[in-house]
A and B are shown apart, each in its own frame.
Chain A
């Protein structure tokens, strides 16, 4: 084919791969040790209990074996000793855009943060490196009594809430990477919504990795009190680097009786990043938790947002999409754990693989004995763009109750020659036709995103598709 060859490398680097000279106030030595963990805690002037909790987590991290599932081959290439576990870009918190340092602002400008804020943001917590540099909360939110801050500040200003909930949904011992995060966490968001308060506008945070070999271990905790509701959005793009980077976040959600939390993520890590994230929610009686999760980029993503429905009538939902290109493996899925009667859940997972990329759906549906009248629906659709690409599903069901309704459906399809010919006969090039088919495939996901994100996602898809044909 004679289509012009697009250089995805330089375009990608230009649009998303920019990075600032490393101007760091503090840069820890690479590698992990008790000293590093103590230094992090000391730098942050944390309470004693947090310091001890970190050190205990470090012990657990050392003892825990690497996961024996997922892509163990790629997992075992993580060089823990070459990773930086803590960085701080500026020393002080910013809550006014004008005061944010110029260098950092430029980065965010290109990510469109100020614009996004103008349009619909209630507050911005933009995480630059491991520390939050910019933070603002609209006055009406504060008036409602909503706390929206970075995790470090949350710990300083609301230690009693943090102490009550931190690590209760995902304990350090949950898995090796939650242990690591618990030991070295820095940044992330802390949100508390008082009873009955419905936050109408999405709360948003941006994360970036911007230092070679740097790990980013943000920790997010959202507590929604009875009858309250909140929508939280995180979006990521990351610069391209030659060395491997580790991103290992922990996100804990607590949805009290009759409350609702929606957590939306679009991640576009550079292709050298290990993205190993633990996300879990507790949904109490009649509460609703929705994970909207988009995974583009990274070398390996292992992420299975889960909802533990602990109260009757609770509802959990996961809607996830993954895009794996050359040399990438997106191992994503969902876990729905029904521990109470009349709980319901749905999982919709959509994945695309191209240029030899690999996607896996790994899911768990568990219904405990006594959890009667549970309904659960699982659907995974995979789209392969070429012969070299691969997709697998690993659905696990543990149903210990008879009175349940469980549905599972999985499809794997290829972009059909007839579809391509049809669209080409209407004037689209082969690449435009493929991009359109891919966008259509992701539509059920894009449709639940706020407008700006849907546009951003479409741009990312178009970019990912460029240069893949021709």
Chain B
């Protein structure tokens, strides 16, 4: 039997006293690709942040089990070390922090040990090649002055390096034009290892043309209202959220 990577049970979470997640349930096994779709403001980013342990959110009820272990009391950095990754919808920049040394630092922090410079360089060049990233990128400062597309690529590069057991991609497709979307999605596919799992969060179906999910869920007003196979995404695209959700 496949291992249960993530199990979310009756998750309620609030921010500034306002309840956003109102009883979310989800189970992801190793090797599975899941997609969560939902209208703007339905709580998709909230769910991603809560999974990663953002300190601003308060969990009022429910459980998050990661490989059977309760995540809720763990700090974000501890979750990262356990193999969880979040590609942000709006990645922040950190001026003055050199990309290469940053990437080496996070790899060391997440894996718990340093790898030799040479080996790291090889690994980095390989991943950057898969993502069709220019070499000069590595000499820049962390996300500083990056275009929307470059920021998303930077997120995927970090994911590729850290090779997490579960990666949550929060609207990685937003802000990308058609060509950029294709390269990023191809990059995800090329760097994705089949024993790992993905949770793709998106508003539109278009990303799912490139990365075919095994399961699609619909989040609306803080609840999972519908689950199905990849055909659900197409249905949503065709009929729109309103129609699908009211029937």
> Looking at B55, B76, B102, which has the most chain A CB atoms within 10 Å of its CB?
B76
* A residues near B26, Cβ cutoff 8 Å: none
What is the chain B residue whose CB lies nearest that of A441?
A: B96
What is the chain A residue whose CB lies nearest that of B87?
A: A425
What is the chain B residue whose CB lies nearest that of A421?
A: B54
Interface residue? A393 (CB, 8 A): no
B110 touches A426 (CB 8 A): yes
A419 touching B106 in the complex, CB below 8 Å, given contacts A427-B80, A440-B142: no
Query: How near does chain A come to B147, taking the closest CB pair, in angstroms?
Result: 18
What is the chain B residue whose CB lies nearest that of A429?
A: B77
Q: Which of A416, A421, A432, A440 contacts B109 (CB 8 A)?
A: A432
A418 touches B110 (CB 8 A): no
A428 touches B106 (CB 8 A): yes
Q: Which of A419, A421, A422, A436 contacts B105 (CB 8 A)?
A: A436
Query: How near does chain B come to A323, taking the closest CB pair, in angstroms?
Result: 15
Interface residue? B137 (CB, 8 A): no
* A residues near B52, Cβ cutoff 8 Å: 421, 425
A444 touching B96 in the complex, CB below 8 Å, given contacts A417-B55, A425-B52, A432-B109: yes
Interface residue? B141 (CB, 8 A): yes
A427 touches B81 (CB 8 A): yes
Interface size on B, residues (CB 8 A): 31
A428 touches B94 (CB 8 A): no
B80 touches A436 (CB 8 A): no
Interface size on A, residues (CB 8 A): 23
Residues 85 to 104 of chain B near chain A (Cβ within 8 Å): 85-86, 88, 91-92, 94-98, 102
A426 touching B109 in the complex, CB below 8 Å, given contacts A439-B97, A440-B97, A443-B97: yes
A425 touches B95 (CB 8 A): no
Interface residue? B18 (CB, 8 A): no
B92 touches A427 (CB 8 A): no
A428 touches B105 (CB 8 A): yes
A436 touches B94 (CB 8 A): yes
* A residues near B77, Cβ cutoff 8 Å: 424-425, 427-430
Query: How near does chain B come to A282, taking the closest CB pair, in angstroms?
Result: 33
Interface residue? B197 (CB, 8 A): no
Interface residue? B158 (CB, 8 A): yes
* A residues near B158, Cβ cutoff 8 Å: 426
B76 touches A425 (CB 8 A): yes
Contact with A along B47-78 (1 / 0, CB 8 A): 00100111110000000000000000001110
* In the bound complex, CA of A7 to CA of B7 (Å): 40
Contact with A along B16-28 (1 / 0, CB 8 A): 0000000000000
Interface residue? A454 (CB, 8 A): no
A443 touches B109 (CB 8 A): no
B96 touches A443 (CB 8 A): yes
B109 touches A442 (CB 8 A): no
* In the bound complex, CA of A436 to CA of B76 (Å): 17
* B residues near A416, Cβ cutoff 8 Å: 92
Interface residue? A50 (CB, 8 A): no
A419 touches B97 (CB 8 A): no
* In the bound complex, CA of A440 to CA of B141 (Å): 9
Query: How near does chain B come to A302, taking the closest CB pair, in angstroms?
Result: 27
Residues 423 to 468 of chain A near chain B (Cβ within 8 Å): 423-430, 432, 436-437, 439-444
* In the bound complex, CA of A97 to CA of B86 (Å): 56
* B residues near A432, Cβ cutoff 8 Å: 109
A440 touches B80 (CB 8 A): no
Query: How near does chain A come to B164, taking the closest CB pair, in angstroms?
Result: 10
What is the chain B residue whose CB lies nearest that of A350?
A: B96
Query: How near does chain B come to A415, taking the closest CB pair, in angstroms?
Result: 10
A422 touches B96 (CB 8 A): no
* B residues near A426, Cβ cutoff 8 Å: 80, 106, 109-110, 158, 162
* A residues near B94, Cβ cutoff 8 Å: 419, 422-423, 436-437, 440
* B residues near A440, Cβ cutoff 8 Å: 94-97, 141-142
* In the bound complex, CA of A443 to CA of B142 (Å): 12
* A residues near B106, Cβ cutoff 8 Å: 426-428
> Looking at A422, A428, A432, A436, which has the most chain B CB atoms within 10 Å of its CB?
A422
B75 touches A422 (CB 8 A): no
What is the chain A residue whose CB lies nearest that of B106?
A: A426
What is the chain B residue whose CB lies nearest that of A419?
A: B92
* A residues near B102, Cβ cutoff 8 Å: 436
A427 touching B110 in the complex, CB below 8 Å, given contacts A417-B56, A421-B54, A421-B76: yes
* B residues near A441, Cβ cutoff 8 Å: 95-96
> Looking at A416, A425, A432, A439, which has the most chain B CB atoms within 10 Å of its CB?
A425
Query: How near does chain B come to A318, taking the closest CB pair, in angstroms?
Result: 19
* In the bound complex, CA of A437 to CA of B110 (Å): 18
* In the bound complex, CA of A418 to CA of B91 (Å): 9
* A residues near B53, Cβ cutoff 8 Å: 424-425
* A residues near B76, Cβ cutoff 8 Å: 421, 424-425
* In the bound complex, CA of A105 to CA of B144 (Å): 45
Query: How near does chain B come to A71, taking the closest CB pair, in angstroms?
Result: 29
Contact with A along B106-122 (1 / 0, CB 8 A): 10011000000000000
* B residues near A421, Cβ cutoff 8 Å: 49, 52, 54-55, 76
* In the bound complex, CA of A423 to CA of B52 (Å): 12
What is the chain A residue whose CB lies nearest that of B161?
A: A426
Query: How near does chain A come to B198, taking the closest CB pair, in angstroms?
Result: 17
* B residues near A430, Cβ cutoff 8 Å: 77
* In the bound complex, CA of A192 to CA of B124 (Å): 49
What is the chain A residue whose CB lies nearest that of B54?
A: A421
What is the chain B residue whose CB lies nearest that of A416?
A: B92
* A residues near B97, Cβ cutoff 8 Å: 436-437, 439-440, 443
* A residues near B85, Cβ cutoff 8 Å: 425
Query: How near does chain B come to A194, taking the closest CB pair, in angstroms?
Result: 39
A425 touches B86 (CB 8 A): yes
* A residues near B88, Cβ cutoff 8 Å: 422, 425
A to B CB contacts below 8 Å, 20 in the list = A416-B92, A419-B94, A421-B54, A421-B76, A422-B88, A424-B77, A425-B76, A425-B77, A425-B79, A425-B86, A426-B106, A427-B81, A427-B106, A427-B109, A429-B77, A430-B77, A436-B97, A436-B102, A437-B94, A440-B94
Known: A423-B94, A425-B80. 15 other contacts (CB 8 A): A416-B92, A417-B56, A418-B92, A421-B76, A422-B94, A425-B86, A425-B88, A426-B158, A427-B162, A430-B77, A436-B94, A436-B105, A440-B95, A441-B95, A443-B97
The 8 residue pairs across chains A and B that have the minimum distance between CB atoms: A440-B96, A443-B96, A427-B109, A440-B97, A427-B110, A424-B76, A427-B80, A426-B106
